[in-house]
Structure 1
Amino acid sequence: MNIKLLIIGFVWPEPKSSAAGSRMLQLIEQFQNQGYEITFVSAAKTSDNTFDLSEIGVTTKNILLNDSSFDEFVSQLKPNIVLFDRFMTEEQYGWRVAERCSNALRILDTEDFHGLRKAREMALKENVEVSVEHLQNDITKREIASIYRCDLSLIISEAEIEILITQFKIDKRLFYYLPFLLGPISKAEVEQLPSFEDRQHFITIGNFLHAPNYDAVLYLKQFIWPLIRQQLPNAEMHIYGAYESQKISQLNNTKEGFLIKGFAEDVNGVMQNAKVCLVPLRFGAGLKGKLVDAMQNGTPCIMSNIAAEGMFGALQPNGFVEDIPENFANKAVELYMNSKIWKQKKDLGFKVLKKHFIKTDFEDDFSNMIKELANNLIEHRQNNFIGSLLQHQTLQSVKYMSKWIEEKNR
């Protein structure tokens, strides 16, 4: 009998547009290696950048929000595991899965801790340090409720697991650390990358719809790039990202060398041409895919502490970590001009990738965790009384709100 996995996507995967899209394909590969038959569904619209999941043997289906047609679909599918892509998806469909497939293992892929990102955004706007009050925002409450309702939550950053355990006292048995899952990079591949002398200019990259990325581009233009440009008048700042809007386009300034390049069809190509990657994120959460892209292509980085969080463990970063604009700019210039330091930082990046993100290091343990959890699901749920309580409350509230919306839409 085939083991069935149902993934309910918040959006359809776009690996060329966002780290979340890449992450989803990595998860799919992990489950395929365990022999699962995978169905991916979403109520979102597709785009030109949507990955064709049928190419990798995944069945797809469009579903509706607040519609009982999902109940019939999931009852017929009878999945062994249901994976919710972000807490918003679990809110919409979790109670339906619990009603129709009560024995299915429910897994939440958080992508990142949305409540933490929101807390940092609030604190930034208020120009204060993040407080407990910021952390206990409405997004956090919704997300943690979703974590409790699920049997297991996949957390991409060890730093976030620490916050969830220490600040919110959540049982660590509800979490599983699963970062970016990457293939190994051979010595020959590293040696073929462009050298220090063959590269030029600075780069940053990120989906412009993502608020932390847009803020970072503005911050870069207003406070950091002018300081770099004073010391390197011929250098250019190349900004890549999907979903470029007019407010992004109008930041383009050829005279200042601040160039909005838009969507990067080949992330590896543009990253390999650049000498230094700048990542001045001021709020956010999770792991930063742009740092992984940079390390894979031998491009050292200057990054903020927010950007570096959870990436390097006890190892040194593939560049410098700075938050003050003057220090950030000075380190960027130093890294851009000094070939010895540049090569050292490039090599550190490959050490980080090998130590923390090789997919085969996680495959067996993750597979065993899923099997053990599935075999002891009743006991696991009995030990998660808060989850049972929230599931009960959800069935009494969200369920009937959804049914009311469905009737209203008829």
Structure 2
Amino acid sequence: MIQPRATKVLVIGYVWPEPRSSAAGGHMMQILESFLQQGWDITFSSPAGTGEHRADLAPLGIREVPIELNNSSFDMFISELAPDVVLFDRFMMEEQFGWRVEKHCPNAMRVLESSDLQSLRDARHQRLKDRLKASDDNNDFSEMFAPALREEFEFMADTDLAKREIAAIYRCDLTLMVSQVEIELLVEQFKVPRNLLHWCPLMVELPTRSPVPFEDRANFLHIGNFRHAPNWDAVLWLKTTIWPLIRAQLPTAQLHIYGAYTPPKATALHNAAQGFHVMNWAEDALQVMSATRVCLAPLRFGAGIKGKIVDAMLCGTPNVTTPVGAEAMYGEEAWPGAITRTAREFADCAVRLYNDKAQWLNAQAQAQTLLAGRYQQALHGPALIERLVECQQHLANIRRDNFTGSMLRHHQHKSTQYMAQWIEAKNRLN
């Protein structure tokens, strides 16, 4: 009997995945794992250089093929590969390669992995900058947190980044979204058809071992890739305002800050006398998280959902965060720690969690409930595959009904194509 051909997938990565450096890298690996469980044939390509913490995909059976921007060599590559599905990792890759995919593999389903809405994160960052310029108050940021969706739309609507990002969503057949809040923002305010979006949060295996007990843990921890602007801002807020408030109540407290690609400006903040330790990259984030009593995530802006908080839940480590940090990460479930709006409240909650074993154990139990109800790979992996297969089966109807996407592809791809061809011709002359 002739066996059916395995679905052939091409992933075009903004970077080579680094699951130990960022939540985005971890989410990409979770998506790839879902494909591998189906026996799909996967090729991963990227125009980026190789990072020092990149995952080795070849032992998983995934081909790795470097590609170039603005180079027609990609045309021959994708024509020969003839994928059934092309997954763009971040909208910039759809801008660069989408027209080439459509031209040479028009029947391939085009899927966008958004990671988070970059235009939302950027608009929130600008609001924070404006707020810091307008006021010396470094304690209360209540007005920054969780505004109405309409207000978020008004901050984003006129930005170039939002127009580019949402145009890419329209041009694709399906976009994977980690945040249900961002889905509602796109549907209710930007009028993106709901059928073009699929909720695919971080996907994890539930822990089988008992977490490290309260008595065997010590210290506070913050972790996050320093190349991600919200993480660097969180470190600054910790250093200037929150950590002094914690140390005033716990004079011997120690804070360990881990992050990939630690810049000199971060290491300059290290001060052992203040208990403020910049530790560089953690080779095993779950190990250091498991030894920690409380995770601190004082995010004043950002988007998507937070890998550091999922890691904390996996390790049974209660966390203190802000409404931005907790956004879209829980529904009816209780939060496994504390959600705060001011530096003073943040510090007080962190100290209480650190000292109060009963409260700490309750938060730990709430983390297990939240993980089981919202983040199981066993639930979201099959749901992702089912949605992709369904879209493949109805691809012609999806594209017919998405006239806005068709129109955007017609105009944007023409301009992008001509620009890419001009750059390629210019590069030949040089």
Q: TM-score scaled by structure 2? A: 0.93
Work out whether residues 204 and 279 of structure 1, in 8 Å CA contact, stay in contact via their aligned partners in 2. Answer: yes
> In the alignment, what sits opposite 2:84?
80
Instruction: Name the structure 1 match of 2:154.
Output: 133
**SS of residue paired to 1:239:** strand
Indicate yes or no: 2:86 matched with 1:65: no
What is the rounded CA distance, in whole Å, between the counterparts of 1:140 and 1:303 in structure 2? 27
After TM superposition, give the deviation of residue 135 of structure 1 in Å: 1.4
C-alpha deviations, 1:33-58, integer Å up to 9, x for none? 22210000000000221111001110
Given that 1:280 and 1:323 are in contact with CA atoms closer than 8 Å, whether structure 2 keeps it comes out as no
Q: Are the counterparts in 1 of residues 98 and 413 from structure 2 also a CA contact under 8 Å?
A: no
Q: Distance in 1 between matches of 2:406 and 2:227?
A: 36
Return the match for 1:154 from 176, 180, 186.
176
- Whether 1:19 and 2:23 are equivalent positions in the alignment is yes
For the 8 Å contact 1:16–1:267, the answer to whether it is kept is yes
CA contact (8 A) 2:31 2:381 kept: no
Looking at structure 1, the residues matched to 363 and 198 of structure 2 have their Cα atoms a distance apart, in angstroms, of: 30
Range moving further from structure 2, 104-113 or 30-39: 30-39
Match of 1:172 in 2: 194
Q: Residue 366 of structure 1 corresponds to which residue in structure 2?
A: 384
8 Å contact kept, 1:122–1:134: no
Note if contact 1:201-1:238 (Cα within 8 Å) is conserved in structure 2.
yes
2:343 aligned residue = 325
Aligned-partner Cα distance in 1 for 2:422–2:351: 59
Unpaired segments ≥5 residues, structure 1? none
Please give the secondary structure, in 2, of the residue aligned with 1:255.
helix
Cα distance, 1:288 vs structure 2: 0.2
Partner of 1:242: 260
Within 5 Å, which residues of 2 pair with 1:8-407? 8-127=12-131, 129=144, 131=151, 132-136=153-157, 137-186=159-208, 189-190=209-210, 193-407=211-425
State whether residues 42 and 63 of structure 2, in contact with CA within 8 Å, keep that contact through their aligned partners in structure 1: yes
Separation (CA, whole Å) in 1 of partners of 2:198 and 2:39: 20
- TM-score normalised to structure 1 length: 0.97
1:354 counterpart letter in structure 2: A
Q: CA deviation at 1:368?
A: 2.1
**Residues 4, 37 of structure 1: 8 Å contact kept:** yes
Q: CA RMSD in A?
A: 1.0
The SS at the match of 1:17 is: coil
Aligned-pair CA distance for 1:139: 1.1
**RCO (CA 8 Å, sep 6+): is it higher in 1 or 2?**
2
8 Å CA contact 2:206, 2:314 repeated in 1: no
Letter in structure 1 aligned against 2:313: M
Which runs of no fewer than 5 residues in structure 2 stay unpaired?
132-142
SS in 2 for 1:274: coil
Separation of aligned partners in 2, 1:253 and 1:326: 22
CA contact (8 A) 1:14 1:21 kept: yes
Aligned to 1:5: 9
What is the SS of the residue equivalent to 1:197? helix
Contact 2:14 2:89 in 1 (8 A): yes
1:364: how far off?
3.1
Identical columns (%): 46
SS at match of 1:120: helix
Instruction: String of CA shifts for 1:137-195, please: whole Å, max 9, x gaps.
Output: 21111100000000000000111101111111111000000001111222xx02xx221
| Secondary structure in structure 1 of the residue aligned to 2:272 | coil
| Offset from partner CA, 1:318-372 (integer Å, 9 cap, x none) | 1000020000100000000000000000111111111001111123332222122
How much does 1:63 deviate? 0.4
Deviation sequence 1:377-398 (CA, Å, 0-9, x none): 1111000000000000022201
SS class of match (2:198): strand
Q: Distance in 2 between matches of 1:236 and 1:363?
A: 39
Question: For 2:30, what is the secondary structure of its paired residue?
Answer: helix
Distance across 2 between alignment mates of 1:292 and 1:268? 10
**Alignment check: 8 A CA contact 2:14 2:93 kept:** yes
Aligned residues: 406
8 Å Cα contact 2:218-2:292 kept in structure 1? yes
Counterpart residue type for residue 352 of structure 1? L
Residue 223 (structure 1) shift? 1.0
2: CA distance between counterparts of 1:354 and 1:251?
A: 38
Separation of aligned partners in 1, 2:245 and 2:383: 47
Letter in 2 for 1:202: F
Q: What is the letter of the counterpart of residue 133 of structure 1?
A: E
Task: Assess if the C-alpha contact under 8 Å between 2:173 and 2:399 holds in 1.
Answer: yes
